[in-house]
Amino acid sequence: MIKLIHISDLHLGKPFKAFYDKGEVLRQALIDVFNRIVDFAIQEDVKGVLIAGDLFDSNSVGKTINIIQGIIKKSGLNFYILPGAGQGGVAGHDALVQGSLYLRESWQMVPNAHIFKATDGEVFYDSDYKIAFYGKPTITYNQSPLPILDKHREALYHIALVHGSIQLHEHIDDYPFTLEEVAALDYQYVALGHWHRFNKYEYGGGMACYCGVAEILEKGGEGRGTFALICLKEGKVLSVECKPIGRFFNMKIPINVEQDLADLSHFIQENVYEPQNTILNIYLSGDIEINQYEYFKEALLDKLKEVFHVFLDDKDVRFNSKAVSYPANTVAGQFIRLMEEKLSLEPDEDKRQHMFRAMQIGIGLLAGEKDKKDLSLKEYLF
């Protein structure tokens, strides 16, 4: 039996701006998970590691490239690397464009890294195991990234690496291709990248698979990071397993602002097992007086202070109790209703927070609870 590992979209060197001061911790976490995958591959006697695009977040990742080249070289494993997303000669991530990190001379010192650079596609052949690996860099956003090449005559196994989107409906247009087109390639396995959730698609005598991402480090994510372990035998794909590997666990939790925070504490204790390695996406809803909301949010975040990072989404919170207190024909009533409407329509979380703070200050001024002399310049400028 022959084993291969399939990973994609690791985005090494990502800035992680949404995580503020935790960026360096997360960049190291990506290097660490890459190391764990390599260690697993060595222990399992894996014959090749397939990287289906976006190994790096961009073509400017500093010393990260030297670290990864060192890990690959030291492992002695064969790595088959497909450059990532690009559009019209411009890199979306680590695309094969002018100045691409895959064009650096330092790769010549890593002979076990096989990088797909031919824009029309190319094949690498492992004669020891009779496996042909096919790949074509993604150059144009709305064209198929499938490597349509003549099959290697001596190969028993045909494996393709593709960075793009299965066209499940007509609105999918980023590096699109259909399952029918994949089946027509007649390869036993197609290692897919670009989508971040594990999914398998069977066709005829083969299978296409998105392996997920090794660390789910994004707002709105869910679950733990994964990779795919492929087992080949007698010219066929014997199995494809989704293997958990990530350090961090990404969770989604809906919370009603009218909920008792004591009940919430119990829920967190029961469901958040490793708070130091947990990323929480909290979706707030319900009715609350705007001046009470700030106290609720502070109390909530205090209960979550052991959690690695918390994303709060409050677009479904209704700040309507104050408006009832002020008739629509008053300045305060008109101001509150106008701000509530703007809050309900604003999709950007940071802008919502600024607008929410402005609404609080405005209500305080109009209600006589604050005076201009009590406000700092920072409050005026948010």
Quote the pTM value.
Answer: 0.85
What is the per-residue pLDDT across 193-213, written as a single tens digit (0 to 9) for each? Answer: 999 999 999 988 899 999 999
Tokens of 298: 């502070």
Mean pLDDT of 307-327: 77
Query: Average pLDDT over the chain, rounded to whole?
Result: 88
Say how far apart CA 360 and CA 365 lie, in whole Å: 9
Which one-letter DSSP state was computed for residue 173?
-
Residue with more model confidence, 180 or 172? 180
Q: Residue 67: which pLDDT band, with cuts at 50, 70 and 90? A: very high
Q: Which residues contact 152 (CB under 8 A, 6 or more apart)?
A: 123, 125, 132, 158
CATH of 2-247, one of 3.60.21.10, 1.10.40.50, 3.40.50.2300, 3.90.1150.10: 3.60.21.10
Q: pLDDT value at position 229?
A: 98
Whether 309 and 277 have beta carbons less than 8 Å apart is answered as no
Say how far apart CA 167 and CA 86 lie, in whole Å: 18
Q: How do the domains of the chain map onto residue ranges?
A: 2-247, 249-381
Residues in the chain: 382
Burial environment of residue 258 by CB neighbours within 10 A (0 to 12, 13 to 18, 19 or more): exposed
Task: Report, in this order, helix, strand and coil percent for the chain, each rounded to 5.
Answer: 35, 30, 35
Residue 354 pLDDT greater than 90, yes or no: no
Whether 84 and 101 have beta carbons less than 8 Å apart is answered as no
CB-based burial, 283-303: b 16+ in 10 Å, e otherwise: bbbeebbbbebeebbeebeee
Mean pLDDT of 171-188: 89
